[in-house]
Each structure stands twice: as C-alpha cells, then as structure tokens.
Amino acid sequence: MEIKFWGTRGSIPAPGSHTLEFGGNTTCVEVVLLNGQRVVIDGGTGFRLLGQHLTAINDPCHFHLLLTHGHWDHLLGIPFFEPIYRETTEVTVDGWPPAFQAMTRVFDSHMGDGFFPVAFDHLKARIDYLNNLAHGPLDLDGVVIDAMRLNHPQGGLAFRFQEGKHTMVFITDNELGAARGRRIPEFVDFCRGCDLLIHDAQYLPGEIADRRGWGHSTYEEVVDLAQQAEVHNLILTHHDPSRTDAEVEQIVALSREMVAGRKNPHYVDAAREGACFRLP
Ligand SMILES: [Zn+2]
Ligand SMILES: [Zn+2]
C-alpha cells in the first residue's frame, strides 16, 4: 500500500511561513492499496488538496472515506472537496458512526441554520454510509481493516490495515495516558509488529499535565508505545497548531534520541504534508 499525507495538523489549520515544512492543513491521509482501491482517512482541510489532485489526474473518484471521529478539524475539507459535486463520484463512508452524522451537519440543514450554503442531500456524488467498522473488520478484496476505540472526548476509532504481510496502523486524536478508557496494553496489542504506526503526538511532556482529558498524547508516550509494540517505523502526526517547523524538528530529534540503540522502531519522523510512504 502507498500512504500519502494531505493534512498533518491538529485542531485548526495553521498556515504561514513557520509551518511550510510539516504543513498547515488538518488531517487527511490517502491510502492506495495494491489492488488499486483507494481509502481516505478523514476529511480535514487537506482533503481539499486531494480533491484538486484527483480532478487534475481525471480519476473516477470511487473510494472509501474512513472517519476517525466527528471533530471539525477532521471534517472541514469535505464541503471543499471538488469531486463531491460530480455525479460520477462514489464515496463509501465508514468509521466512527457519529462522525457520519457530523459530516452531514457540516452542510445546510434546510432549516437556514447550516454551516455551509449547500445541503448534504443536494450533493451530486453518490455517498453511501456503510457503518461496518464499528462492528467488525472491513475486507476490501483481501485487505483487512480493523478498528479500535480511541481515548478521545466524544469517542472515535483507530484503524489497522493488513495487506498481505504488511500492516499500517493509523491512530490520531488518542490520549495514551488517559485516566479512563483503553489501557496501554490494548494499544500495544493493536499495533504489535506493524510496519508503520502513525500516531497523534500533539503535546510535549511539559504541556500534558494541563491538557489531560483533551484526548491527545505526547511524543514520549507514543515512542514508548512503538517500542513496546515492536513497531518498525513511526510517524508522529496531528501537530499542535502553535508548533513551528523548528519545534516539530526538535520533537523528532528528541524521539530519535529515545530510540537510539534500541531495536524498534528503526525509523522515526514527523508527518509532512505531501510525504508518501510505500509498504513494502
Ligand atoms: Zn483532531
Ligand atoms: Zn478530535
């Protein structure tokens, strides 16, 4: 599978000269499977750029959209995704069930109080709601996607892609050290031995005490998870909107110090808008 980051920022877009390296758009990740199917995780503002790209390459735009949860930074790009206004586009939505309701509410409600001028049921694309992943694995012609509940206010889902021998785990908006909810050993089991773990690392260790219960993790907690789960490659994402490129570089440097001399993970970096990874 090939994994491309179209949005890496957490909470709110953060454009400007200080975020050019890692990007200012909010969460959107494209996964193109070896069988040719396309899966998109979340519709943050990076989703708009993906829409421009798919239009430019004249792609028929038939794909699965997996929503981790319904917070606005993960939905804001959907009304600005150009192919959603075309009859030929087919989107199958799955993921955290309340997120589908939240996605429809981004649009006009016919009551004059919507957040966008266009009504959801006036969109020309065919949008189906599968609602599979909250209940069991999703099989896309042999690629199996599993889900796990996140530690995040109002809930959400993490996703694990298994394609042949290769595994990618995507976990954003997740508080590893939460007082309640899923415990670390459950996340270790979910991530065990994966080729690539992409995980929320919004906060610094010095910030977390004031932000407990906000639903995010520190890079130290994430590196620790990756080590316990013997993850091969680790990418930190959902960068805090206040974080400059230099500060994200510093987080990467500190994370690499933590893994120096250890067997796993072999590789640590921060998600960059436009960056692409291929498994195998
Ligand atoms: Zn978020
Ligand atoms: Zn969130």
Mean pLDDT of the chain: 97
- Name the closest ligand to CA 13: 1
- From ligand 2's centre to the CA of 205, what distance in Å? 19
- From ligand 1's centre to the CA of 200, what distance in Å? 9
- From ligand 1's centre to the CA of 10, what distance in Å? 5
Q: Are 150 and 171 in contact (CB under 8 A)?
A: yes
* Per-residue confidence (pLDDT) for residue 109, from 0 to 100: 83
- From ligand 1's centre to the CA of 39, what distance in Å? 19
Distance CA 238, CA 5 (A): 11
How many residues make up the chain in this entry?
Answer: 280
- Name the closest ligand to CA 42: 1
User: What does R_g of the chain's alpha carbons equal in angstroms?
Assistant: 18
Q: How would residue 228 be classed by pLDDT, with cut points 50, 70 and 90?
A: very high
* Per-residue confidence (pLDDT) for residue 41, from 0 to 100: 99
Distance CA 224, CA 46 (A): 29
What is the percentage of the chain residues whose pLDDT exceeds 70?
100
- Name the closest ligand to CA 44: 1
Q: How would residue 19 be classed by pLDDT, with cut points 50, 70 and 90?
A: very high
pLDDT average, residue stretch 194-201: 98
What is the percentage of the chain residues whose pLDDT exceeds 90?
97
- Name the closest ligand to CA 71: 2
CATH code at 2-278: 3.60.15.10
pTM of model > 0.85: yes
Residue with tokens 């981790």: 68
- From ligand 1's centre to the CA of 189, what distance in Å? 23
Distance CA 130, CA 95 (A): 9
- From ligand 2's centre to the CA of 63, what distance in Å? 23
Distance CA 109, CA 140 (A): 33
Strand segments, DSSP code E, in the chain are 2-7, 28-32, 38-41, 62-67, 90-95, 126-129, 138-140, 143-149, 157-163, 166-171, 196-200, 233-237, 267-270, 276-278
pLDDT average, residue stretch 243-247: 98
From the CB of residue 210, how many other CB atoms can be counted at a distance below 10 Å? Answer: 8
Strands 38-41 and 28-32: antiparallel
Q: How would residue 219 be classed by pLDDT, with cut points 50, 70 and 90?
A: very high
Reply yes or no on whether the pLDDT at 227 is more than 90. yes
